[in-house]
Amino acid sequence: MIDPVISHPLGDFIREIIPIPEISFLINALISIIAICAVAIGTAPILIYMERKICAHIQCRLGPMRLGFHGTLQTIADVMKLLFKEVYAPKGADKFLFYLAPMISLTAPFLALTMIPFDHNLQVANLSVGIPFIIAVNGFGILGILIGGWASNNKYSLLGSLRSGAQMISYEISFALVLLFVVMVSGSANLMDITQSQSGTILDWWIFKIPVLGFIAFIMFFISSTAELNRAPFDIAEAEQELTGGYHTEYNGTAFAMFYLAEYINLVTTSSLATTCFLGGFYPPLIGIESIDTLLLKVPGFIWFAGKVFFMISAYMVVRWTFVRPRVDQLMDFEWKFLLPANLLLLALGATYIAIIG
């Protein structure tokens, strides 16, 4: 029995006008897919433009300026270029796996995006196992990178993908443990419930609600998710200066565009996850003063959500263009000797906090 989990008013409306449950479910699913694709594919060019501008201004440059007003059309032109390029696999590559890898890579962020509550009623799937689902789905990204590196018959690709496999699997543990901390303190693995547990003033967000631990957990989430995203300073997988691009050395055209797209949708997904788990999701930052709060509450929730996601993305980008890449052994040292013990300690302290204060 298919259980239509699309629970927002639009889904109810379609269920009302179409009495046959199978067809209404199909229509609902189609609407959800289109919405998710629109959000994901629509934001990716904006993010690419944003990244180019932010990196340029940090390095005292201007970035794209020629195409359109301040280079706004540049990414669209780049996307068109990538789409019209010929796609070919190198000699000796495993064709099937070679073309499968970018698709697997692209699946993961889309699946994770279905779990994110954008507003009170804007959530595709309200699963009770939202956080475990996202952790599980994140593994797809690693699989795509590993397969892509292996199938392209290139030593740099293989090296990059193996390195990134080791890195991402290691940091996955910290990532999961920090999310576990949030699940522990909020008492639910459902992302909607986690968001609703942060309603109230700005001090009720999980980053501030637990005095110091919340902020430490947020920093740890930031570090481990940067490693999960394969972004600098943890871009061991690409490491352009050492590995000429790592796992996507041999990719071009549409296949490369899919890897690129996956990277940026992953950025959106992880930022949304950070927003949901730590920054109060779609709730406005109320400060407890009546007159200001009524004004803040008038702004719709998804705008607050988008604003917080935008803030997180800018933070990721500034960090990317500031810090240098650690060596592979330093990276593993940091995870296994510092981040993982610190995470376990954080979990224990969080449990103590709940036991004592409640």
Partner 1 sequence: MKQKVSPISTAEYIKRYAKRCITGPISLLKGLSVTVRYFFSPHKIVTEQYPENKKTLKMHSRYRGCLELIEDENGENLCTACGICEKACPNASINILSTKNIAGKKVLGKYLYHLGSCTQCGLCVEACPFGAIRMNQEFELSNESVDSFEMTLNKKEGRG
| Under rule CB under 8 A, residue 81 binds partner 1 | no
| Under rule CB under 8 A, residue 319 binds partner 1 | yes
Contacts of 234 (CB under 8 A, 6+ apart): 167, 171, 226, 227, 325, 326, 331
Which range, of 3-11, 70-78, 208-216, 318-326, touches partner 1 by CB under 8 A? 318-326
Other beta carbons within 10 angstroms of residue 110's beta carbon come to 21
CA end-to-end span of the chain? 40
Identify residue 1 by its one-letter amino acid code: M
Which range, of 165-173, 257-265, 300-308, 319-327, touches partner 1 by CB under 8 A? 319-327
Count of positions on this chain that bind partner 1 (CB under 8 A)? 13
Q: Please report, as residue ranges, which positions from 41 to 70 form the binding site for partner 1 (by CB under 8 A).
A: 54, 57-62, 65
Two structure tokens written together for 288: 């407890």
User: For partner 1, which is the closer residue by CB, 128 or 322?
Assistant: 322
Question: Least distance to partner 1 from the beta carbon of 227, Å?
Answer: 15
Residues 272 and 117: beta-carbon distance below 8 Å = no
Residue length of the chain: 358
Question: Least distance to partner 1 from the beta carbon of 57, Å?
Answer: 5
User: For partner 1, which is the closer residue by CB, 203 or 219?
Assistant: 219
Residues 271 and 313: beta-carbon distance below 8 Å = yes
Question: Least distance to partner 1 from the beta carbon of 108, Å?
Answer: 29
Count of H-run helices and E-run strands, the chain: 15, 0
Return d(Cα 311, Cα 307) in angstroms, integer: 6
Question: Least distance to partner 1 from the beta carbon of 74, Å?
Answer: 15
User: For partner 1, which is the closer residue by CB, 39 or 339?
Assistant: 339
CA-wise closest residue to 175 among 340, 64, 292: 340
User: For partner 1, which is the closer residue by CB, 54 or 243?
Assistant: 54
Question: Least distance to partner 1 from the beta carbon of 60, Å?
Answer: 5
The one among 37, 295, 318, 354 contacting partner 1 by CB under 8 A: 318
User: For partner 1, which is the closer residue by CB, 303 or 318?
Assistant: 318
Exposed, middle or buried by CB within 10 Å (0-12, 13-18, 19+), for 132? middle
Two structure tokens written together for 107: 């699946």
Give me the phi and psi of 8, to 5 degrees please. Answer: -80, 165
Which range, of 31-39, 129-137, 208-216, 316-324, touches partner 1 by CB under 8 A? 316-324
User: For partner 1, which is the closer residue by CB, 142 or 227?
Assistant: 227
Give me the phi and psi of 6, to 5 degrees please. Answer: -75, 105
The one among 13, 88, 323, 336 contacting partner 1 by CB under 8 A: 323
| Residue 121: strand, helix, or coil | coil
User: For partner 1, which is the closer residue by CB, 51 or 172?
Assistant: 51
**Within 13 Å and on the Cβ side, how many CA atoms surround 51?**
21
Return d(Cα 343, Cα 216) in angstroms, integer: 9
Q: Which residues pair with 201 in a beta bridge?
A: 286
User: For partner 1, which is the closer residue by CB, 27 or 55?
Assistant: 55
| Residue 167: strand, helix, or coil | helix
User: For partner 1, which is the closer residue by CB, 56 or 173?
Assistant: 56
Q: Please report, as residue ranges, which positions from 228 to 267 form the binding site for partner 1 (by CB under 8 A).
A: none
User: For partner 1, which is the closer residue by CB, 199 or 322?
Assistant: 322
Q: Please report, as residue ranges, which positions from 132 to 151 form the binding site for partner 1 (by CB under 8 A).
A: none
Question: Least distance to partner 1 from the beta carbon of 58, Å?
Answer: 5
Residue in the structure block whose two tokens are 């639009």 = 10
Which range, of 165-173, 174-182, 256-264, 314-322, touches partner 1 by CB under 8 A? 314-322
| Under rule CB under 8 A, residue 20 binds partner 1 | no
Return d(Cα 300, Cα 192) in angstroms, integer: 17
Instruction: Give residues in contact with partner 1 (CB under 8 A).
Output: 54, 57-62, 65, 318-319, 321-323
